[in-house]
Amino acid sequence: MKQNIYKSAALVTVFSTIEKTLSFFYRVVLSRIIGAEGIGIYQICLSVFAVFLTAASSGIPVTVSRLMAKSNATGDVKAKNAAVTAGVVGTLIFTVPMAIILFFGRNAFGFLFSDDRCKDIFLILLPGLVITSVYAVMRGSFWGNKQFLPYSIIELLEDAVMVILGCILVYGVTDPVLGAQRATLAVLVSYVFSFIVSLFWYFKKGGKFVNPKRQLKPLFSSSMPITAMRTSTSVLNSAVAVLLPLLLMNAYGLSNSEAISLYGVAIGMSVPILFIPSSLIGSISVVVAPELSENYYRKKTALVKYDVEKSVKAAIFIATLLVPLLFVLGDEIGAFLYSNELSGEIVHRSAFILLPMCLAMITTTVLNSMNCEKKTLVYFFFGAAAMIASILGLTRFVGVYSYMIGLAANFTITAALNLRLLKKKCEDIKFIKYTVHSLIVIVATCAFGIMLDGIISRYVSLVWQIVICAPACLAFTAAFLYCLEMFTMRPFKKLISKN
C-alpha cells in the first residue's frame, strides 16, 4: 500500500511539475509581450473570476473524493455514482444562474474591478464558470477512484492548450489590453478542452449519473466550509487586486497604469515564483487525501498517524530545499526571467514565506480529510484578517511589501493553529524535531549559497550564476539532510522495486 502511495505521488508530482513549469514560463512570455500592465489586467480578471469559480465548486471536488473514499470503505458502488451526480447538480445550481446574472447585469458589477478595462475581458471567461465547475467534479471523481494518471494527463493537456493557443494569440501584440483579452480567450478554450475530455473518460470508465438524493445532504454539509474558506481566499485576492493599487496611488501619487504595473510585478511575476511549492504540495494532497480519508473512516489509527506525519514532513522537506534557492538567487531569477529588478528583489526578501506556506497548505488538506472543515475555516479567517490588516496598515510605509508581509502572517497563523489541532487529533505525531533540524539546514545553506554566489558573481554572467549556484545549493541541502538522517533513498528504491 505504501509503495502504491509513493508511485502515485511520484506520478502526480512529475506531471504537475511539468504543468506548472509550462504555466510558469508562459507567464514569463506574457510578461515580456504584454508587459507588467497587461499582466496586471489579466491577473485582476482571473482573480475576480476565481471568486465565483471557487464559490461554485472549490469544496465539492474534495468532498466528492472523500465521499467516494467512504463508499470504498463500505463497498457501496451506487453511493459513489450518487456522490458525483450530487456534485454536478450542486455546482450547476449555482453557476448557471450566476453566469446569467453576471452577463446581463455586467454594468452593475463594475465595482469588482480596480480598472474599468477589465469588465469586457472578464465576460470572455463567463462560459468557463459553468463548464469548469463540472470539470472540477470530474476531477474529484478521479481522486476518489485513485485514477491519478488520467487526472494528471488531462491537467497537463489543459495547460498545454492554454499555453500554445495563448502564445499564438498574443504573438506580435503591443497593446496590453488586447494582449490580456487574447490571453483570457486562451484560458476559456483550455477550460472547454478539459470539460469535454473529462466527461468522456468518466463515462468510458463506467461512471453514471444517478439519483443524487442520498448524497446531497452530506455533500453540502462537508463542502460548504471548504467552499467558504476557498471562496474567502478568492475574495481576499480580489480585495487585494482592488485595494493595493488604490493604496499605492494614494500613498505614492502613482497613476492608475503605474499602480497596476506595480501590482502586476508583485502578484503576476514574483508570487508565482514563491508559489512553486504549491504544485508539489498539491500533488501530495491529491494522493494522500483519499487514502487518509479511507483509513480515517475505517478507524485505522496507525495508518492515519503515518499518513499525517509523512505529509507534514514532506511539506517541510520541500520548503527546506527551495527556501535557500530563492533566497540566494531571487534577484538573479527575477532579472533573468522578467528583466525586472523589483520582482527578483521581492522573491529574495520573501523566500522564508515558503516554510509556513507549505505547512499551512498540507495541514489544511490533512485536517479536511479528517472531517475538520469547520475548524480550518475559522483558522483561515484569523490568517486572512492579518493579511488585510497588513495591507491597510503597512502599504504607506513599505509599498507592495505590505502584501508579502500579510502573506507571511496569514500562513504562519494558519499553520500554527492547524498543527495545534493536528496534535490533538493525532497525539503521537512527531514533527517538531524535524522542523528544528530543517531550520538549521535552511540557515546553513543560505549562508553557503550567499558566499558561493558572492564569489562567482565576479567572474561569470547572471545565467551561469544560476546554473552553478542552484545545483550547488540543492546538493548542499541534500547532503546536510542526509547527514541528519532526514533524507534517505528508501522511497526512490520503492519506486523502482519490482516487488
Report residue 252's pLDDT band, with 50, 70 and 90 as the boundaries. very high
Distance, in Å, from the CA atom of 316 to the CA atom of 358, rounded to the nearest integer, reads 7
- Of 132, 106, 124, the C-alpha closest to 178 is 124
CA distance 133 to 312: 29
Please name the residues in contact with 351: beta carbons below 8 A apart, sequence gap of 6 or more.
Answer: 274, 323, 324, 326, 327, 330
Q: What percent of the chain is predicted at pLDDT more than 90? A: 36
CB 358, CB 316: distance < 8 Å: yes
Q: Residue 12 pLDDT more than 50? A: yes
DSSP letters spanning 423-485: HHHSTT---HHHHHHHHHHHHHHHHHHHHHHHHHTTTS-HHHHHHHHHHHHHHHHHHHHHHTT
Express each pLDDT in 363-400 by its tens digit: 998 998 887 888 998 998 999 999 999 999 999 999 99
Whole-prediction pTM value? 0.74
pLDDT of 287 higher than 90: no
| Residue 382 or 31, more confident | 382
pLDDT at 229 over 80: no
> Distances from the Cα of 66 to the Cαs of 140, 253, 355, in angstroms?
9, 50, 27
Mean pLDDT of 468-483: 92
Q: Does the pLDDT of residue 140 top 80, yes or no?
A: yes
Check the CA dihedral 475-479-481-487 and report its sign.
positive
443-457 tens-digit pLDDT: 999 999 999 999 999
| 498, pLDDT greater than 60 | no
The whole-angstrom separation of Cα 386 and Cα 1 is 41
pLDDT at 113: 74
Averaged pLDDT score across all residues of the chain: 85
Query: What confidence tens digit (pLDDT) does each residue in 79-114 have?
Result: 788 888 888 888 888 889 988 988 887 777 767 776
Helix (H, G, I), strand (E, B) or coil at 7: helix
